[in-house]
Amino acid sequence: MTLRILISFLFVNILSSRLFAQKKPAPDPSAKFKTEAIQQIQTHYDEYKKIALQIWDYAEVGYKEQKSSALLQQTLKDNGFSVEAGVAGIPTAFVATYGNGKPVIGILAEFDALPGLSQEAVPEHKPIAGKNAGHGCGHHLFGTASVAAGIELKELIAKNKWTGTIKVYGTPAEEGGSGKVYMVREGLFNGVDVVLHWHPGDENQVEFSGALANSSAKFRFHGTAAHASMSPEKGRSALDGVEAMDYMVNMMREHVPSDTRIHYVITNGGKAPNVVPDFAEVYYYVRNPSRDEVKQIFERVTKAADGAALGTGTKVDYEIIGGTYDLLLNKTLADAMQLNLNQVGGVNYTADELEFGKKIQATLGFAAPGLDDAQTVKPLHTKEGAMGSTDVGDVSWNVPTVGLSTATWVPGTPAHSWQAVACGGTDIGVKGMMAAAKTIALTGIDLLRNPALIEKAKAEFQQARGGNFVYKPLLGDRKPALNYRD
């Protein structure tokens, strides 16, 4: 081999090795702040556990969360936030603010419970005597973790004299009450650069899947009371109106897009079998990935109600209770949050918690993932066929928004179940909550320290939303349905 060939061979190999060598990720300039945040949040484990379990014990349903909201507000006040309470015409809604200038980072905090899910923190079905509601969706953990993340970001801003503003939004009645929609409509998110949120679950992952748009309403039928045996001909049954409507809507299911969800519950069907009911009420949800489809399908549901009233000799009116948008996703923010969730990691169980988890899984009635699944962090991927709805959707169409879920319940546990309530009342739930608080705090650090990340997220947001977008809430201009759980 000649000297020239040898030199050429060596040059090509050196060049190739440089071209194909994997690039090492650039060091994170905020690494020391993130390490500090993780340590500081963990230091307050017992404090945040106490708050979360207190709200778990309160178990207050939508728009009735006076004690839960007050506890979170006081915690924020005690840590230097100014709090505006009773915003958007909602007594339990609040906005807590710390700092000044840009960027403005919003953090969502929920705290409402679900009716009919009272449950002790034990691995067998055991409702708490004298209680009706329970935290089957883990919002006691949701609100507490968000407050914890907000407080940690406040501490970093104060200590390091950073410019930036943290806003923690106390958002009531996510479960059907559309609390955030009223807050968006009121302009409370105007000027916010990015919104962060999370949700309890049975695995650790950044949420990058859509949500179903949703319209809900209570249909109220009015008839004529009469003795059901002596003079039924004089009565006009409001319950007949409800049942006729339900029958027609159930037939309609064959003739709507297959990804539509329609469900209802009869909230008032009369008081006694021997009295023709002069009043009856049915509560409906209509969901679809497209809010335009929701509007059209909901209009057909109202026509079914009108037809049912005509056919049964009754009258009907309806009240819009809630309405939420689908989720507008943001890949830029999701990628950033994914890196932070990877750093925080999943949830590790003690021997006692593993035993508790096995007993919970034994009650599920189906094969659940292994309990060690709670330790893992799922990679970022788009889920197809999202089936849930959330008022975070309305926020996401007004501000770039990103969220995650963490394993606050043992793997396989469904939301809105007594098993979720039970897990949420133990350290199993609290450990997942702390993982969420840390991940939100770390993502907040990125946003405070890296203006380019926000600029990129906003550019993606504007392109995805479109230049002609005009926000119009699905629930119209109605006032908050503060008594929708009555």
pLDDT on residue 19: 42
With b meaning 16 or more CB within 10 Å and e meaning fewer, what string describes 337-363?
bbbbbebbebbebeeebeebbeebbee
pLDDT at 384: 62
Q: Are 72 and 170 in contact (CB under 8 A)?
A: yes
- Percent of the chain exceeding pLDDT 70 equals 93
Burial class (CB in 10 A: 0-12, 13-18, 19+), 1: exposed
DSSP states along 335-362: HHHHHHHHHH------HHHHHHHHHHHH
Residue 104 DSSP SS3: strand
Q: Which fold has domain 31-210+326-465?
A: Aminopeptidase (3.40.630)
Q: Where does 363-449 have alpha helices with state H?
A: 392-396, 418-424, 427-449
pLDDT value, residue 321? 94
Q: Residue 232: what are its φ and ψ, rounded to 5°?
A: -65, -25
The residues, any chain, with a CB within 8 Å of residue 414's CB and separated by 6 or more, are 202, 364, 420
pLDDT of 366 over the 60 cut: yes
Q: How confident is the model at residue 44 (pLDDT cuts 50, 70, 90)?
A: very high
Mean predicted confidence (pLDDT) in 388-405: 96
The whole-number average pLDDT for the span 88-99 is 98
Confidence of residue 381 (pLDDT cuts 50, 70, 90): confident
Residue 482: is its pLDDT beyond 90? yes
DSSP state of 113: B
Per-residue pLDDT, 386:
64
* Distance of alpha carbon 122 from alpha carbon 114, whole angstroms: 18
pLDDT digits (tens, 9 = 90+) for 183-200: 999 999 999 999 999 999
Which two structure tokens, joined as six digits, stand for 240?
Answer: 């007949």
Residue 385 has pLDDT above 70, yes or no: no
Above 70 in pLDDT, residue 8?
Answer: no
Sequence ranges of the domains in the chain: 31-210+326-465, 213-323
When pLDDT is cut at 50, 70 and 90, the band that residue 210 belongs to is: confident
User: Which DSSP category does 211 fall into?
Assistant: -
Asked if pLDDT for residue 35 goes beyond 90, the answer is yes
Q: Is 315 helix (H, G, I), strand (E, B) or coil?
A: strand
Question: Tell me, what's the pLDDT at 194?
Answer: 98
Instruction: Supply the pLDDT for residue 27.
Output: 72
* For residue 122, pLDDT beyond 50: yes
Across residues 167-183, what is the average pLDDT? 96
b/e burial code for range 9-43 (CB count within 10 A of at least 16 → b): eeeeeeeeeeeeeeeeeeebebeebbebbbebbee
Q: Is the pLDDT of residue 159 over 80?
A: yes
CATH topology of domain 213-323: Alpha-Beta Plaits (3.30.70)
Q: Which pLDDT does position 26 carry in this prediction?
A: 66
DSSP string spanning 246-297?
HHHHHHHGGGS-TT-EEEEEEEE--S-TTB--SEEEEEEEEEES-HHHHHHH
